[in-house]
Structure 1
Amino acid sequence: MPHTTNKSSAAVIDKAVSAWLTWNDIEIDERLELINQWSELLKLQHSLGLLPAQMVDFHAEHAPPLLSMGEEMPGPTGESNVLSTAGRGPFVIIAEPDASINGFIALLSCALIAGNSVIVAPLPEHQDIISTLQQVCDFSDVVMPLLTEDADKLRNEIIKDGAVAGVGFVGTQVEAMEINRTLANREGQIAAFIAETDPDELTTVRDQQLVLRFITEKTLTTNVTAVGGNATLLALGCGDV
């Protein structure tokens, strides 16, 4: 039976889609500058300690070589192909109570670096993380790419909506399997699922290439042969030469 999103959840998703389009349109270098400003503010939040900011720095350092602003790939018939990366869309990030705050902020920072908007159900210990990001966005006159919602609505409504591009999760394997089952049964686009279920080693979020799980690739093709840009190849194709 098709899933129907209630009006309040649909409004949050609409805002997240709008925020994604705005945030994703910012150049990668500018996004990274905003992320670095966020990290500096996080370092001033004594309640968090230094590890959350260091996790943000870790992914901000390793992400740039993996994110392409435009790589030229000449085509066999003379067309120009430009390959670049972009955010996939709105992501939901869920953290169970007492889950690793470093795991949560790693998923959040990678989602944002890649160009996605994010919807979270914040735990009390996440408030400083959200408020510092809001300060950076307000100061830079940038639309806040992070939205908040009730935890029950995230699990029972929002992640079932086809507009949600993916889910990041920090918590137990049992809950991760339940969320994965929900995503597998929904209609619409296939959602990415990134789960951190190792609270001690944080094996998933310590991956230097984690940001790649939050991106999509896009190709802009300019076909100059369509307007006579390569008459020789056109003639070969017609069998006249």
Structure 2
Amino acid sequence: MSESVTVMIKQAKKSWLTWNDINIHQRIGITAQWGERLKDNPNIGDTPAHVIEFHNRQAVSLIAESQMMPGPTGESNILSTSGRGIFLMMMEQDSSVPALVGLLNCALIAGNSVLLLSNSNNKEIVASLQQACSLSGVEMPVFIVNEKEALQAIISDPNIAGVCYVGNEAQAISLNQALAARTGQIAQLIAETDLALLPTVRDQHLVLRFITEKTLSTNVTAVGGNATLLALGCGEQ
């Protein structure tokens, strides 16, 4: 792997921490602006923007609010979601732009940063997203990878949380095998190979494939008992 790609992965990891810390409603607002800019581009059309709108609505319903889960001893447990890390994303030449936009949007609103393999079809998509981020004063969480020969090395990098692919089934199988051969954390493949029906991108729960759960537990009910045990341990009555 070249030094430039190594540096890019480090930048993407830093960007993930910043982007993931942004409130999800703000992330959704940024991608909504992105969708409006895509609508204004005659080379792209309305469909990608509609895909963004659909998954933004689903994200509000599925992951926007934390869930309170009272425990059996009176403790408070707050369940929320977080991005998984860095996703590597790619599409075959002249494949489905709405599919790529849908996967990219879900990765972003879930709180991930993205390494996007360079392609002539995605340059205008990225430019529109850059404009939306700049207007919001937020660092761009998507990084363009121009070195296609570095693909296997990037997939093997332990910082990569998953791979998204739009294209043919044979290449999807090859990518899955490369992910299976990795050591360290499990990285999933999210692929769209049916470019006519787009079943993956049309999945109303797609955003859930880009998140991990986190729980904050607060237990003050045992404070008194623990204080008593500490006092007894010190010989105080």
TM-score for the superposition, normalised by structure 1: 0.89
Runs of 4 or more, structure 1, over 6 Å off, are none
User: Structure 1 CA distance, aligned partners of 2:64 and 2:50?
Assistant: 24
Distance change >3 Å, CA 47–CA 81, structure 1 → 2 = same
Out of 9, 18, 38, which is 1:22 matched to?
A: 18
1:101 paired with 2:59, answer no
> Does residue 200 of structure 2 align to residue 207 of structure 1?
no
Aligned twin of 2:178:
182
CA deviation profile, 1:41-61 (whole Å, cap 9, x unmatched): 111011111111111111112
Amino acid at match of 1:43: K
State which of 220, 223, 231 in structure 2 corresponds to 1:224: 220
Q: Matched residues in 2 for 1:83 and 1:229: separation?
A: 26
Residues 156 and 179 in structure 2, CA contact (< 8 A), matched pair in contact too: yes
Deviates more, 1:60-69 or 1:176-185: 60-69
Return the letter of the residue paired with 1:66: L
Which amino acid is 1:121 matched to?
Answer: L
Tell me, yes or no, if structure 1 residue 129 matches structure 2 residue 125. yes
Once residues 212 and 223 of structure 2 are traced to their aligned partners in structure 1, the CA distance between those partners, rounded to angstroms, is: 30
The equivalent of 1:236 in structure 2 is: none
Moved more, 174-183 or 116-125: 116-125
Distance change (3 Å), C-alpha of 1:156 and 1:60: same
Alignment of 1:52-71 (within 5 A): 52-71=48-67
**Are residues 48 and 106 of structure 1, via their aligned partners in 2, closer, same or farther at CA, if it must alter by over 3 Å?**
same
Task: Give per-residue Cα distances to partners, 1:173-211, cap 9 Å, x unaligned.
Answer: 110010000001111110121110101111111111110
Please give the residue correspondences for 1:187-202 in structure 2 after superposition, counting only pairs within 5 Å: 187-202=183-198
Counterparts of residues 8-47 of structure 1 (less than 5 Å): 8-47=4-43
Take 2:150 and 2:190, find their aligned partners in 1: how far apart are those partners? 16
Of stretches 66-75 and 29-38 in structure 1, the one that deviates more from structure 2 is 66-75
CA contact (8 A) 2:2 2:150 kept: no
- Pick aligned residue for 1:90 from 61, 86, 93: 86
SS at match of 1:115: coil
**Does the 8 Å contact 1:28/1:69 carry over to 2?**
no
* 1:63 positional shift: 1.6
2:141 equivalent among 142, 145, 150:
145
SS of aligned partner of 2:121: helix
Aligned pairs for 1:2-13 within 5 A: 5-13=1-9
Which amino acid is the alignment partner of residue 50 of structure 1? D
- Identity among equivalent positions (%) equals 49
**RMSD of aligned residue pairs (Cα, Å):** 1.8
Q: Which runs of 5+ in 1 are unaligned?
A: 232-241
**Whole-angstrom distance in 2 between the partners of 1:135 and 1:35:** 11
Kept after mapping to 2: 8 A contact 1:78/1:230? no
Deviation of 1:150 after TM superposition, in Å, equals 2.3
Question: Is the 8 Å Cα contact of residues 87 and 164 (structure 2) preserved in structure 1?
Answer: yes
Give the deviation of 1:129 after TM superposition: 0.8
Give the Å deviation of 1:152. 1.9
* Correspondent of 2:77 among 77, 81, 95: 81
| Contact 1:92-1:154 at 8 Å conserved across structures | no
User: Separation in 2 of the partners of 1:186 and 1:137?
Assistant: 33
Moved more, 197-206 or 8-17: 8-17
| Structure 1 position 37, deviation (Å) | 0.8
